[in-house]
Chains A and B, each alone.
Chain A
Amino acid sequence: DTGVSQNPRHKITKRGQNVTFRCDPISEHNRLYWYRQTLGQGPEFLTYFQNEAQLEKSRLLSDRFSAERPKGSFSTLEIQRTEQGDSAMYLCASSAGFVNEQFFGPGTRLTVL
């Protein structure tokens, strides 16, 4: 399967702990996006990479959120000092080309107790 993969699929953590999620995009895609989806809502954009460069990060929800894509392939999203309000589905998408069709991974569901 050459789709977008995300790990872990589920993460349960206690408030105040740090968590890190990984996204592996479709191999030939140079663009990578992170979104967050809460119950009953559509995905909300967080940040964007073109190759290894993070070109848009103003939508990251707070300075507790950070993302990297060190070699322009996989990406990680880290949340420090998690809060209960961080509980959500975190989605990764990748794309390439002019039409910019974004293909999504299955997501990582975070539950903060």
Chain B
Amino acid sequence: GEDVEQSLFLSVREGDSSVINCTYTDSSSTYLYWYKQEPGAGLQLLTYIFSNMDMKQDQRLTVLLNKKDKHLSLRIADTQTGDSAIYFCAVSAVSSGSARQLTFGSGTQLTVLP
């Protein structure tokens, strides 16, 4: 089945850019998503990218997809203290059938230092 890997922790200074990385195994992954989870809150969908795209930009967020290496990244420009949270990469693959359920990584804890 699909496996999604993320590094566990990332610390950046306020105002710097953050880059959160993710790798996945199923080459049939069609949509790839980034979610944000703050303490005590549910998962917030940030953005997604379709597998026929290399890049997607949405305000301060830039998603890069390298299909050859099965590597996905999320760049947050001008990182603020309010961006401190756990960020999850999730993929949906053709192999998951009609359910198209998401397979999540373990999450990256982003800490923004003042």
Binding site for B on A (CB under 8 A): 4, 33, 35, 40-45, 48, 50, 55-56, 59, 91, 93, 99-107
Within the complex, which residue of A42, A91, A100 is in contact with B42, where a contact is CB–CB below 8 Å? A91
What is the bound-complex CA distance between A91 and B92, given in angstroms? 17
B98 near A55 with CB under 8 A, answer yes
Q: Please give me the residue from chain A that is nearest to B86 by CB atom.
A: A42
Q: Please give me the residue from chain B that is nearest to A100 by CB atom.
A: B100
Given A99-B31, A99-B48, A100-B31, check contact A45 B42 (CB 8 Å).
no
- With an 8 Å Cβ cutoff, the count of chain B residues facing the other chain is 25
Chain B residues with CB under 8 Å of A107's CB are 42
Chain A residues with CB under 8 Å of B98's CB are 50, 55-56
B interface SS class:
strand
Q: Does B97 count as interface, using CB distance less than 8 angstroms?
A: yes
B42 near A43 with CB under 8 A, answer no
A43 near B97 with CB under 8 A, answer no
Chain A residues with CB under 8 Å of B35's CB are 104
Give the Cβ gap from A46 to chain B, nearest Cβ, in Å: 9
Given A33-B101, A45-B101, A50-B98, check contact A103 B106 (CB 8 Å).
no
Chain A residues with CB under 8 Å of B48's CB are 99, 101
Within the complex, which residue of A43, A48, A101 is in contact with B45, where a contact is CB–CB below 8 Å? A101
A43 near B102 with CB under 8 A, answer yes
Chain B residues with CB under 8 Å of A35's CB are 102
Q: Does B110 count as interface, using CB distance less than 8 angstroms?
A: no
Given A42-B106, A45-B102, check contact A101 B42 (CB 8 Å).
no
What is the bound-complex CA distance between A25 and B88, given in angstroms? 22
B104 near A55 with CB under 8 A, answer no
A42 near B99 with CB under 8 A, answer no
What is the bound-complex CA distance between A40 and B37, given in angstroms? 12
